[in-house]
Structure 1
Amino acid sequence: MSSLGQLLKNHQQKQADTKRQNDQLRKDCAKSMNELTDRLTDQVNQGVSDIFGRQKELEQESRKLGVQTSRYVKQTKQWVALVDDFNSSLKELGDVKHWAELMEHDMRTVMATLEFVHQGAEGKDSIQK
Structure 2
Amino acid sequence: MQQQMEMEERRGSLEVYLLRLVEDYHQNTNLIRENAELLLDTVNGGVQVSFTNEKLIEAEIRALAVTVARYLKQTNQWLATSHSMNSILKEIGDFENWMKTMDYECKSINAALKKICNS
TM class by shorter chain equals over 0.9
1:41 and 2:40 aligned: yes
Q: By how many angstroms is 1:5 displaced?
A: 0.9
Question: In structure 1, what is the equivalent of residue 71 of structure 2?
Answer: 72
Residue 105 of structure 2 corresponds to which residue in structure 1?
Answer: 106
What corresponds to 1:91 in structure 2? 90
Shift of 1:62: 0.8
Gapped runs of 5+ residues in structure 2? none
Q: Which residue does 2:13 correspond to in 1?
A: 14
CA-based RMSD: 1.0
Q: Normalization by structure 1: what TM-score?
A: 0.88
**Does structure 1 residue 61 correspond to structure 2 residue 57?**
no
Whole-angstrom CA distance in 2 between matches of 1:25 and 1:65? 59
Q: Which has the larger radius of gyration?
A: 1
Q: Distance in 1 between matches of 2:84 and 2:9?
A: 110
Give the letter aligned to residue 4 of structure 1: Q
SS at match of 1:15: helix
User: What is the Cα deviation at residue 118 of structure 1?
Assistant: 2.3
1:25 is matched with 24
Q: CA deviation at 1:117?
A: 2.2
**% identity of equivalent residues:** 28
